[in-house]
Amino acid sequence: MKRFIPALLCLMLILTAHSGSVQAKVNNGSTVSEQHYTRIGEDYEILNGTMLLSKKDGTVWYWDTLAYSSHASDPFYQAKLKQIPGLRDVKQFSFDGKNGESRLMTNYAALKKDGTVWYWDSRNNTYPVDSRIAPKPIKDLNHVTSLVADYTGNSKNYKTLFVLKSDGSVWCWIAQQGKASSTSYYKILDNVASIKSVNGHVYAVKKEGSVWKWRTYMYWPQNSKFYDKNPEQIIGLEDIVNIEMGGTTNYAYKKDGTVWSWKTYDKESTPIQIHRATGARGIVQFSSQLKDSNIDTTYALLTDDKLWSIDSDKVFPELSNIASVHHKDKGSYMENYVLKKDQTLWAWKDNVSAFPKLVVFTNESAAGNRSGSTEKPTSDRAETKTQPELIRMTSPEVSLSPFITMLQPGGQQSIAVNNVLPGTKITYTIDDPSIGSITNVNGLPVITANKSGQTIVRATTSRAGFPEETTYILLYVVDGSMVSDTYFSAVRSIPDADKQNSAIVEGLMQAGELVITAASSDKPTPVDGQIVITPELIDRLAGNASRAKSAVQQALSENKIVPARDLIVNAEILSSPTQNEYMFKLNKSGLVGRKDIDYITVYAGDAKLVFNVATAQRLFQSQSVIVIQLVKENNGVYRIQFLDEQGQELSGVASNIQLILPANYADAVHSSMFYVNGKTKEPIGGKYNSSKNGMEAEINRSGTYLVDDNSKSFPDINDRDPELKQAVQFLGSKGIVTGKDNGNFEPDSLLTRAEFTAMLVRAFNVMDEKAKESFSDVHPPQWHHPFIASSEKNHIVEGYPDGTFKPDRTIERQEMTAIGARFLHERKHYYYPSNPDEYLNRFVDKETVSKWAKPTMSLAVKQRLIDVPANKQIKAKEAVTRGEAARMLYRLYLQL
């Protein structure tokens, strides 16, 4: 391998990593710079080999290196980018060409976003594609989600399509080339999740994970008498989530992370496990006629973003930071393509006579709209308006959290969905609906456990410019006696390649916390009608929780799983579910100063109270005992009183108590918890907690509480991206954000420190009208006085060293982010990253982040309180907008 390094260096390929740009020197000494090529992953999606799909309008393009003379000494491949005429809004494309070349295309089939299939063939074998011949829709094919095609030259010149429809059925469509009407059209299979094909062989993965195969010629009209048209199951492949076609060898990926291979042309081939490929994201298979003995024939793309040999521990030369690998079967040889994380495209040939080179689309091509092409540009970069808010990441990958969830029958769990781009549609299914069901709450999917068992929850994403993707989570429904055994088995089953996947790790943390809670539940006997939370009771709960927590930590450690936060210990105190009135007596001596328990949840019929043990000192203050009376009245109203030991009502307590009331979760997105005292009714926020099956909000005063609809809308956010619209409506319904005098939200207006403080005080319901502030520039009757005073009392937003608060000053992005990250750290126990630069290096202007803000900013990026913008600029000291703050606060609210 070492002998290749000098050769590659002499090619004089220069990567200017500090700026993210790429430059390549050509033979005459001139430089091809970033202005002369396109970053494929930024503007285009790779469809198949040299085929690209414009992310903007769904037009289809192919790139042609043979349009330029090539020399071995060239440091890059120079290419032209050409558009396939007459097609827009495409999501999948299949073609046939002379010698497999896209520039010599003779047939194609295109699947559009609306589920229709469009067809073109040359009729007279003219090529390249004749723009005068328009593609036509195939009237028989609708509601299609994916397709595979086989173009076989024979006496009848049949074109065969197999399509997967949205209902999971697979249909065969056959036509003679030159005709757009079908010769045959009928259903083959049901309950299918995906289909793939290679060299006349078609494979289907069913939803339960089995794999089925058939040959395309089985369905030609003249062969109908000679072949059984029933697909055949491949024995030895179960629990498959994806398959990959490799020409002579195919690969299957199981849900446990293992990779299996089988031969395309060997009918007796039995799938075998490729042990060195466990956890792989892709396989590259070369021919056996390699020209260099230092190169192996098969490589796996692993989680470190490098290609590793299946036969040894060697890394494929000179490639790293790989985002995805692609290859195109062309009969006599295979060409390979790699998309790197910097969005550059690299290519090399199957015989490895030349190592990977950068693919450069020069200014003579259509890439980046810099050519003299008469085609309408597909990526207009003329003038970009400055966006006041952070732009979403461009990555199409969608992940679900938690990856593993454990529930008892009747329990619920919401699924967090990450990296969802605007325009993405997500369809959820559960393999075994008898075990669990799924509904939409607060814009998020919520799983409800029905009966004991194990199944898979799948999410299929579809979006213009991207292929469909399916990801999944594992659902375990177990009774109380089996919780710990099921958890430890689940931890051991995680493949090594997934043990540092953040979504999987968080899922294991949440499931581990269920184990701890199940072990630390108790139902004390009431004393004189009161449930007394004594020091002895807390000691017993904490002891059980400590043992369970140690077992969970040991299981994670033994399996080399490194958590991103500490496990949260929540003990539960149960009571009779049939009462309407409850009395709870809390002893200060049992709660203050504990380090072995975080929260205590007490059940009061269909309501619950949650005490934050970490801040118990603030709750009790000078009181040694606090008594809480909860009475369920008519019409879903709950009356709560805070009393001292003598039974006298306390005017208020610290806001470290959460009240959870039953709610109609279908309407929870527009509902709020309300505080009622006399004629006063005010929203105090609240979010739907699926694991606790109710609306939760922090309370700090005696009075009446209820859950009711509080829908809010603002006309000026209707045309904004779905998440921002959802965020503002959600926060508005909770009373956390308010509109301006004109009824608009004004998301692009800059945010002041006073406005952001008011949002936070409302979000955490810590308003205290009697609180006093110490800032020299904050006085009554200023509107923000009670918010800033309450914030100071509860240590939410700090002032400046000179004793001022500067309420009308705009808030910096790093200030806003620091507050959100601090709440994650304090309330959810997330660790600040030990190496902040791992996350801050994603920004080209990371130097704008102050030293004090690096830990909080890195945690905010890691937990996606903020996104990495498309321009990769964080602008840490610049002012944020009201919309940007609403987006971050919404994401924070859903994580707490």
pLDDT tens track for 763-810? 777 777 777 777 888 888 888 888 888 888 777 888 888 889 888 999
Asked whether residue 767 is assigned to any structural domain, the reply reads: yes
pLDDT computed for residue 698 by the predictor:
84
**In the predicted structure, residue 29 carries a pLDDT above the cut 50:** no
> What is the model's pLDDT at position 717?
85
Beta-bridged to residue 777, according to DSSP, are none
pLDDT of residue 352: 61
User: Is the same domain home to 744 and 647?
Assistant: no
What's residue 884's pLDDT? 92
Residues 7-31, mean pLDDT to the nearest whole number: 34
What are the residues facing 466 on neighbouring strands?
A: 463
Q: What backbone torsions phi and psi does residue 271 show, to the nearest 5 degrees?
A: -60, 140
Closest CA to 100 of 136, 72, 138, 127: 127
Please tell me the predicted confidence (pLDDT) of residue 159.
79
- φ, ψ for residue 636, nearest 5 deg: 70, 25
Instruction: Judge if 705 and 721 occupy the same domain.
Output: no
Per-residue pLDDT, 260: 93
d(CA 184, CA 89): 27
In this predicted structure, which of 430-444, 633-647, 829-843 has the lowest mean pLDDT? 430-444
- Single out the residue in 688, 711, 734 at which a domain terminates: 711
Query: At which of 179, 214, 233 does a domain end?
Result: 233
Pair 726, 591 in one domain: no
Q: Give mean pLDDT, residues 414-418.
A: 67
Q: pLDDT tens-digit profile of 242-265?
A: 898 877 889 999 988 899 998 888
Distances (CA, A) of 376 to 81, 83, 86, 153, 869: 13, 9, 11, 34, 28
Share of the chain above pLDDT 70, in %: 79
Average pLDDT over residues 390-398: 34
- CB 586, CB 625: distance < 8 Å: yes
Tokens of residue 479, six digits:
């009774």
Output the pLDDT for position 601. Answer: 93
Non-local (6+) Cβ contacts of 387 within 8 A are none
Q: Cα separation of 352 and 360, whole Å?
A: 20
Residues 685 and 731 in one domain: no
Residues 656 and 690 in one domain: yes
Which string of DSSP letters, residue by residue, matches 501-527? -HHHHHHHHHHHHHHHHHHTEE-PPPB
pLDDT at 389: 27
Task: Average the pLDDT over 453-478 and give the result.
Answer: 76
Query: Which phi and psi angles does 104 have, rounded to 5°?
Result: -115, 45
Residue 562 CB coordination number (10 Å):
9
Give the β-pairing of 136-137 and 144-151. Answer: unpaired
**Which residue has better confidence, 664 or 759?**
759
Tokens of 691: 């694991």
Judge if 701 and 761 occupy the same domain.
no
Task: Give the type of residue at 16.
Answer: T
Report if residue 496 sits inside a domain: no
User: Is residue 687 pLDDT above 70, yes or no?
Assistant: yes
**Region of poorest pLDDT, from 513-527, 619-633, 670-684:** 670-684
Same-domain status, 152 and 196:
yes
Sign of CA dihedral 328, 495, 565, 479: positive
pLDDT band at 354 (very low <50, low <70, confident <90, very high): low
Using the predicted structure, report yes or no on whether residue 826 has a pLDDT greater than 90: no
| Domain span at 641 | 575-711
Instruction: Name residues whose C-beta falls within 8 Å of residue 494's C-beta, 6 or more positions apart in sequence.
Output: 257, 504, 508, 559, 561
Q: What band does 206 get if pLDDT is binned at 50, 70 and 90?
A: very high
Confidence of residue 489 (pLDDT cuts 50, 70, 90): confident
Better-scored residue on pLDDT, 854 or 479: 854
- Looking at mean pLDDT, say which of 263-277, 345-359, 721-735, 851-865 comes out highest: 851-865
pLDDT of residue 82: 82
Q: Has residue 689 been placed in a domain?
A: yes
Q: What is the pLDDT of residue 222?
A: 66
Which carries the bigger pLDDT value, residue 135 or residue 204?
204
Q: What is the spatial distance between Cα 322 and Cα 334, in angstroms, rounded to a whole number?
A: 19
The enclosing H or E element of 557 equals helix 535-558
Identify whether 506 is part of a domain: no
Does residue 310 fall inside a structural domain?
Answer: no
Give the residue, 628 or 423, on which the prediction is more confident.
628
pLDDT at 378: 32
Residue 487 lies in a domain: no
> Is pLDDT larger for residue 831 or for residue 106?
831
Q: Has residue 582 got a pLDDT over 60? A: yes
Residue 278's identity, in one-letter code, is T
Neighbours of 128 (CB within 10 A): 18
- Report the pLDDT value the prediction gives residue 609, as an integer from 0 to 100: 93
Chain centroid, CA 598 distance in Å: 29
Average pLDDT over residues 114-138: 71
Contact 251, 242 (CB under 8 A): no
**Contact between 413 and 690 (Cβ < 8 Å):** yes
Q: Which of 288-302, 315-329, 491-505, 672-686 reaches the highest mean pLDDT?
A: 672-686
Residue 156 reports pLDDT greater than 60: no
CB 545 within 8 A of CB 571: yes
Burial class (CB in 10 A: 0-12, 13-18, 19+), 777: middle
Flag whether pLDDT at 558 surpasses 80.
yes
Which residues, including other chains, have CB under 8 Å from residue 478's CB and lie 6 or more apart? 406, 407, 408, 452, 486
Tokens for 329, please give them.
């079967």
Would you say 882 and 747 are in contact if contact means Cβ atoms under 8 Å apart?
yes
Most confident of 522-536, 652-666, 683-697: 522-536
| pLDDT over threshold 60, residue 63 | yes
Structure confidence at residue 331 (pLDDT): 43
Question: What pLDDT does residue 72 have?
Answer: 64
Q: pTM of the full predicted structure? A: 0.49
Considering the domain architecture, whether residues 626 and 724 belong to the same structural domain is answered as: no
Q: Write the DSSP symbol of residue 315.
A: B
- 643 against 4, higher pLDDT: 643
**Last residue of one domain, picked from the residues 202, 233, 264:** 233
Is 832 found in the same domain as 768?
yes
For residue 716, is pLDDT > 50? Answer: yes
Q: Is the peptide bond before 563 cis (omega within 30 degrees of 0)?
A: no
d(CA 22, CA 30): 14
838-856: average pLDDT: 91
Residue at 17 is within a domain: no
Closest CA to 310 of 334, 278, 335: 278
Residue 486: φ, ψ to 5°? -65, -40
Q: Model confidence at 850, in pLDDT bands (50, 70, 90)?
A: very high
Give the mean pLDDT of 452-478. Answer: 76
Task: Please determine, for residue 22, whether its predicted confidence score (pLDDT) is greater than 50.
Answer: no
Average of per-residue pLDDT values in the chain:
78
Domain count along the chain: 3
**Residue 469, pLDDT above cutoff 50:** yes
Query: What's the whole-number mean pLDDT along residues 127-134?
Result: 60
The 3-state DSSP class for residue 123 equals coil
Segment 553-574 mean pLDDT: 90
- E-assigned strand segments in 245-374: 249-254, 259-263, 272-273, 282-285, 298-301, 307-309, 322-329, 334-340, 345-349, 357-361
Distance CA(791)–CA(786), nearest Å, equals 8
Question: Count of H helices and E strands in the chain?
Answer: 14, 53
- Shared-domain flag, residues 759 and 828: yes
Q: Clarify whether residues 581 and 693 are in a common domain.
A: yes
Q: Residue 805 and residue 817: Cα distance in Å, rounded?
A: 18
Other CB atoms within 10 A of residue 718 CB: 8
Is 33 inside a domain boundary? no
**Better-scored residue on pLDDT, 316 or 354:** 316
Residue 25 has pLDDT above 70, yes or no: no
Please check whether residues 748 and 854 belong to one and the same domain.
yes
